[in-house]
Structure 1
Amino acid sequence: MRKRIALLLVAATTGAVLVHTGGTAVAHGSMVWPASRTYACYQDGRAGSGGGDLQPTNSACVQAVALGGKQPLWDWYGNLISNAAGRHREIIPDGSLCGPTTKYDAYNQARADWPVTSVTANATVTLRYNAWAPHPGTWEQYVTKDGFDVTKPLKWSDLEAVPFDKITNPPLGNGEYSWQAKLPNKSGRHIIYSLWQRSDSPEAFYSCSDVLFGGGVPDTQAPSAPGTPVASSVTGSSVRLDWPAATDNFGVSEYRVYRGDLLVATSTTNSVTVRGLSSNTDYTFRVVAVDAAGNVSPLSPSATVRTGSGAGACTVTYTKPSSWNGGFTANVKIANGSAEAVRAWQLVWDFPSTQRVSSAWSSTITVADGKATAKGASYNADIAAGGSVEFGFNVAMTGAVTDPVSFELSGVSCAVP
């Protein structure tokens, strides 16, 4: 059983309360485009499992699991040193840049078969960095020097002396930091090395993204059209879509899923779950592929899906095992009565302004605009068909206790006993 320590985070700028249970650090994140090794292997493991486990198929990722287990993949966003304080070159030895602690040491392997992101030299791109727990700070992106050999351990001297990109407090939205950057004039196989040094803590995060630079000539060739999407895991509010991958001369960077003219999802793999749908409704989806230069493929063939009824698919049991003057403890059990797993569940309910979440466990809870939103931790983010999850939280309050009377699970109303 994985040990989790609940942490309370107060977002001063919004008034939202976040409670994170993914480890001892109070911030988490990693580069998702171009994909860091831990994120790329996590995605590879998801694609290879066909279920709730992680079963990487990429040979480098398989060896990383053999050496260090699967926990670094579940915690792909936690590659950090808590007391770095900007002393990166002083405290991280050569050969350990990609995984500076024992937990992530397997991701220092010097080999040429790590999952790779194809990019175009001199292209202006959008860098994307996961914000599992947002915090202010500065990001620096370095690239390896010409002649770098990926089959040899990465040393500090292998990196260009100055970062090709540096930004402080980049824009944050939809759980990611994202910003524009111009890639360097490189060709062939390289590593983009990212450092995130928090400004409110000595904690720093590290990631290696394996990239393949196309020549420094403009890429004008669009990817081929993706194959026909296939629907699965259909619920009253979501559907999983998988499609045959597109091809491109430099490589596909992203897939975009459209419902009519509306963009409803993006993915760096040929699979995505579209959420926020209405029950008993027909939807038609198509997919396009996009390369690093922004060239867009033709539309895929369409796929039409009818969502489920959603009725009675979930039941929420809300109890208060203890209370005191000025507060109480709440336990919540979510039962999934559908025949499909609920992935990356989110539970929403009304939350009075007189109440404040002071701590939580087995979940991340955000309170804003009179609503509470609970999300699962990394180890209970999915609810199996016919299964259930439980979480709890403590509340500090003034006035009378008000219990919620309705809940929505990933957009579907749940029964309340």
Structure 2
Amino acid sequence: MRLKRLGALAVAALGIVGVTTVFVQSGVAVAHGSMTYPASRTYACYEDGRIGGGGGDLNPTNPACVAAVQIGGKQPLWDWYGNLISLAGGKHREIIADGDLCGPTTKYDAYNLARSDWPVTNLRAGAAINFKYNAWAPHPGRWDQYVTRDGFDVTQPLKWSDLEPAPFDTITNPVASGGEYSWNGTLPNKSGRHIIYSIWQRNDSPEAFYSCSDVNFTGGGTGGDTVAPTAPGTPTGTASSNSVALSWAAATDNVAVSGYTVYREAGATDVSVATSTGTSATVTGLTASTAYQFYVVARDAAGNTSPPSALVSVTTTPGGTTPGACSVTYNVPSSWSGGFTANVTVKNTGTSAVNAWQLVWDLPAGQGITQAWSADVVVAAGKATAKGASWNQNIQPGQTVSFGFNGSAQGTPTNPTSFALNGASCATA
């Protein structure tokens, strides 16, 4: 099919740059992202697979997601944020054929399956909504959200003519915070099953992203839910060396509270660290003997969010050797005036898997990090934190992961003196 060939060539044109920059959130050329609320098919199936996999492999249980994996494998789920055409240049209707809208390249073709059992987000017609869109690699651009026409049949391939001719929501350059874009909008007055089709066209590149979100509209009419939940109660926390278990009193809402987001206070930009549909959550990947502050925000099904709860301050306990017993090999294969390249290998020397690994170290004086690969590396308050990518985020006992970065330095670069993996101190090799 003409479109599939075009999409495959466009993705291939990214070359090694596309492979590398997936894992870096700053200074990259390629964007990545997908709608997370209401959930796109790839994101919904990734979450379904993550739950079914018990924190290790992805094993979806939703029938449509299972069928998609049988056709296209699991890699599109690990790469749920990469449903793109790199050379689209705004010519979406010209280069994407009818029936291919939800997966315009061969890799994501299985997500075009015309089925009625994809994971569905329930929405109230005409309501206010706070759209959420993953910002794996933030870039400026325009987002257009279309909805299917009345009478749309989800069991038939999605065609351009199935969409309303104009988007019901458009946003240019929404704010990205905590790893996602969010913006407020108003849902269309629809009823029953529909698809919300989102197109993100970058304005600094011809690259464009596409997502299909399966939704069910209830209520109808024009009186949407615009009332936000009340603030949750002040959280309480119980700490270990690398995690904090939080609980709080429930918020109230005129319709119903659909979930909560836990934030860690981090100066100018707070960080979303956990979500829950109940009144408790565990925040992992913390550093031993470190003070943290958290608060909780409630949300309802229409996307209204509550005022934040009061802060809770928690200090993690001193680190031990389990379950994150580890060793780190750090070497600098090359350096130059003002900069250097470093390679890092992390080994799990314990008896339990280290899931969602994070390696933290103090940057030596005068050093910075400008680019990374095979991990997401950020620097704050003199500490560097490396997080595993989707394909290497867990380390089994006896196994290793490796990543690297380019850094800046004043004079000859010196090696860090200590490392902590998920809060546990590591030996240095």
Match of 1:379 in 2: 391
Does structure 2 conserve the Cα–Cα contact (< 8 Å) formed by 1:362 and 1:377? yes
**Greater CA deviation, 208-217 or 28-37?**
208-217
Q: Distance in 1 between matches of 2:32 and 2:298?
A: 29
Cα deviation for residue 292 of structure 1 reads 1.0
Does structure 2 conserve the Cα–Cα contact (< 8 Å) formed by 1:365 and 1:372? yes
Match of 2:54 in 1: 50
The size of the alignment, in residue pairs, is 382
User: Does the residue aligned with 1:5 lie in a helix, a strand or coil?
Assistant: helix
Does structure 2 conserve the Cα–Cα contact (< 8 Å) formed by 1:254 and 1:266? no
Q: Which residue identity is paired with 2:283? A: V
Structure 2 residue 278 is the aligned partner of structure 1 residue 274:
no
Structure-to-structure mapping, 1:314-393, within 5 angstroms: 314-320=325-331, 322-326=333-337, 327-338=339-350, 340-351=352-363, 354-357=366-369, 359-385=371-397, 387-393=399-405
Give the structure-1-normalised TM-score: 0.78
Does structure 2 conserve the Cα–Cα contact (< 8 Å) formed by 1:119 and 1:250? no
Structure-to-structure mapping, 1:197-236, within 5 angstroms: 197-216=201-220, 236=241
Match of 1:302 in 2: none
User: Does the residue aligned with 2:129 lie in a helix, a strand or coil?
Assistant: strand
Give the structure-2-normalised TM-score: 0.76
Structure 2 residue 19 is the aligned partner of structure 1 residue 5:
yes
Correspondent of 1:311 among 317, 320, 324: 320
Superimposed CA distance per residue, residues 306-347 of structure 1 (whole angstroms, 9 cap, x where no aligned partner): 987631234342432523443543222223355543332222
Cα deviation for residue 406 of structure 1 reads 2.5
Correspondent of 2:183 among 163, 175, 179: 179
Please provide the CA RMSD for this pair. 4.1
Q: Which residue identity is paired with 1:116? A: V
Taking structure 1 as reference, are residues 391 and 333 closer, same or farther at Cα in structure 2, changes over 3 Å only?
Answer: same
Q: Which residue identity is paired with 1:274? A: V
Q: Which residue identity is paired with 1:315? A: C
Cα deviation for residue 382 of structure 1 reads 1.8
Cα deviation for residue 359 of structure 1 reads 4.8
Structure-to-structure mapping, 1:9-408, within 5 angstroms: 17=26, 26-216=30-220, 236-238=241-243, 253-256=258-261, 266-267=274-275, 273-275=282-284, 290-293=299-302, 310-312=319-321, 313-320=324-331, 322-326=333-337, 327-338=339-350, 340-351=352-363, 354-357=366-369, 359-385=371-397, 387-395=399-407, 397-408=409-420
Cα deviation for residue 163 of structure 1 reads 1.0
Does structure 2 conserve the Cα–Cα contact (< 8 Å) formed by 1:235 and 1:340? no
Q: Distance in 1 between matches of 2:161 and 2:185?
A: 23
Cα deviation for residue 218 of structure 1 reads 5.1
Does structure 2 conserve the Cα–Cα contact (< 8 Å) formed by 1:265 and 1:272? no
Match of 1:228 in 2: none
User: Does the residue aligned with 1:160 lie in a helix, a strand or coil?
Assistant: coil
Match of 1:301 in 2: none
Does structure 2 conserve the Cα–Cα contact (< 8 Å) formed by 1:196 and 1:204? yes
- Structure 2 residue ranges without an equivalent (≥5): 1-15, 230-238, 248-252, 265-270, 307-314
Match of 1:229 in 2: none
Does structure 2 conserve the Cα–Cα contact (< 8 Å) formed by 1:119 and 1:251? no
Q: Distance in 2 between matches of 1:412 and 1:375?
A: 15
- Structure 1 residue ranges without an equivalent (≥5): 12-16, 20-24, 224-233, 243-247, 298-305
Q: Distance in 2 between matches of 1:373 and 1:265?
A: 15
**Greater CA deviation, 207-216 or 407-416?**
407-416
Superimposed CA distance per residue, residues 357-386 of structure 1 (whole angstroms, 9 cap, x where no aligned partner): 465432122345543332212211122355
Does structure 2 conserve the Cα–Cα contact (< 8 Å) formed by 1:118 and 1:250? no
Match of 1:245 in 2: none
User: Does the residue aligned with 1:206 lie in a helix, a strand or coil?
Assistant: strand
Q: Distance in 2 between matches of 1:151 and 1:331?
A: 50
Q: Distance in 1 between matches of 2:336 and 2:302?
A: 60
Cα deviation for residue 160 of structure 1 reads 1.1
Q: Distance in 1 between matches of 2:371 and 2:388?
A: 15
**Greater CA deviation, 328-337 or 41-50?**
328-337
Q: Distance in 1 between matches of 2:368 and 2:345?
A: 20
Does structure 1 conserve the Cα–Cα contact (< 8 Å) formed by 2:274 and 2:282? no
Q: Distance in 2 between matches of 1:394 and 1:163?
A: 42
Taking structure 1 as reference, are residues 253 and 78 closer, same or farther at Cα in structure 2, changes over 3 Å only?
Answer: farther
Q: Which residue identity is paired with 1:322? A: P
